[in-house]
Homo-oligomer: A and B are copies of this chain.
Amino acid sequence: MSHKQSIQRLLDKAQITINGTQPGDIQVHNEQLYGRVLAEGSLGLGESYMDGWWDSIQLDEFFAKVHTVQLDKDIVDKRLIVNAVKARVFNMQNKRLSKRVAQEHYNLDNDFYEKMLDPHMQYTCAYWKGVQTLEEAQEQKLELICRKLQLRKGDRILELGCGWGGFAQYAASKYGCSVVAHNISSEQVAFARRWCAGLPVEVVQGDYREATGEFDKVAAIGLTEHVGYKNYRTLMETAHSRLKPHGLFLLHTIANNASVTTSDPWFDKYIFPGGMLPSVAQLGAAMDGLLVMEDWHNFGPDYDKTLVAWKNNVDKHRDEFKSKFDERFHRMWRYYLLSLAGAFRARKIHLWQIVMSKQGVLGGYESVR
């Protein structure tokens, strides 16, 4: 059987046709694609897309179909094995190695992110319940977090990983809270400090493990994806030790249906070095006997919508970034956003908000949706 036949047989399972015309079908421009994917797995699939060897009428739908029938499991990924060995032997997200994602991803270009994101500069899943635009959905997500954390005027909040400061700015200006936020990306820290000037927000350029002080609330919004499976317990311990006795901790993260100890090779190389998605089992072990699990909310399909909205914004502003980013970058970025969207659509990965308390909320914690 030729390489093309092998690939076609796999794609048949997902009802994807080579050079077909349906959403999710692919157009192959270079016949070497088949051998490259068989040899290099997910890394080869992504790199050959960046190289322009293939396209899809609807790339997100291609990935939704692939994940629905778990096609990714059919191709053994050698690079994944290399990553697995590295992850077991080393702590790939220790304080030194953690900085890679800041340097390579978050420091990329604030202007570019401003065009891709909403006015609150939210680079995590929006909450689309009953609303239509990215801006509304991101503001609603911020509101959801504030209500879940039961924010009150004067609350001291510790934020672990704060992006460009959107949540800190919102909690301080709308709820009258003071915020200490930790972030290792110099570009984001500089942006957040400018944005939050005049508000009771302190932005610390430092690792989440270095947080000190005592707080009413702790939030980790989009941090957990970067800490690595060896450090989930450390993250929980950090939140626990910083919380006052009756404090609450909200953890917002992309998540995996099964426990893994590796990153996807393509994402690890091009998008999020050291990134890794936690499972229920892994976060459960990390909070075991330490924090009380009060509420666990899964709204993964909202990330599908969010990613598609970001992709539309990038397309809209593409010409403005022509001189900064070449065609290969643009294809890489589209592949990143739409392959993730497809994985959320297929429910292979999820978005969780978990509310935990230090001692258990007396009388019970009321879920907010």
Residues of A whose CB lies within 8 Å of any CB of B are 68, 257-259, 279-285, 287-289, 292-302, 345-348, 350, 357, 359-365, 367, 369
Cross-chain contact of A295 among B296, B345, B365 (Cβ < 8 A): B296
Task: List the B side residues contacting A293 at CB < 8 Å.
Answer: 280, 296, 298, 350
Across the A-B interface, the 3 shortest Cβ-Cβ residue pairs: A347-B360, A258-B289, A296-B296
* A-B pairs with beta carbons under 8 Å apart, 6 shown: A281-B284, A297-B367, A302-B364, A347-B359, A347-B361, A348-B360
Task: List the B side residues contacting A282 at CB < 8 Å.
Answer: 284
Contacts A284-B283, A295-B298, A365-B298; A289 near B347 (Cβ below 8 A): no
Minimal beta-carbon separation of A227 from chain B (angstroms): 17
> Which single residue of chain B is at the shortest CB-CB distance from A346?
B360
Task: List the B side residues contacting A350 at CB < 8 Å.
Answer: 292-293
Task: List the B side residues contacting A300 at CB < 8 Å.
Answer: 360, 364
Whether the Cβ atoms of B289 and A364 lie closer than 8 Å is: no
> Which single residue of chain B is at the shortest CB-CB distance from A361?
B347
Task: List the B side residues contacting A365 at CB < 8 Å.
Answer: 298
Whether the Cβ atoms of A257 and B369 lie closer than 8 Å is: no
Cross-chain contact of A281 among B288, B297, B362, B369 (Cβ < 8 A): B288
Whether the Cβ atoms of A301 and B363 lie closer than 8 Å is: yes
Minimal beta-carbon separation of A193 from chain B (angstroms): 36
> Which single residue of chain B is at the shortest CB-CB distance from A287?
B280
Contacts A283-B280, A284-B284, A295-B298; A289 near B360 (Cβ below 8 A): no
Task: List the B side residues contacting A292 at CB < 8 Å.
Answer: 257, 347, 350
Task: List the B side residues contacting A363 at CB < 8 Å.
Answer: 301
Whether the Cβ atoms of B298 and A258 lie closer than 8 Å is: no
Task: List the B side residues contacting A348 at CB < 8 Å.
Answer: 360
Task: List the B side residues contacting A288 at CB < 8 Å.
Answer: 258-259, 279-281
> Which single residue of chain B is at the shortest CB-CB distance from A366?
B369
> Which single residue of chain B is at the shortest CB-CB distance from A259?
B288
Task: List the B side residues contacting A283 at CB < 8 Å.
Answer: 280, 284
Task: List the B side residues contacting A357 at CB < 8 Å.
Answer: 347
> Which single residue of chain B is at the shortest CB-CB distance from A354?
B296
Minimal beta-carbon separation of A155 from chain B (angstroms): 21
Cross-chain contact of A289 among B259, B298, B299 (Cβ < 8 A): B259
Minimal beta-carbon separation of A220 from chain B (angstroms): 17
Whether the Cβ atoms of A298 and B302 lie closer than 8 Å is: no
> Which single residue of chain B is at the shortest CB-CB distance from A296?
B296
Contacts A257-B292, A283-B284, A359-B347; A299 near B369 (Cβ below 8 A): no
Minimal beta-carbon separation of A141 from chain B (angstroms): 15
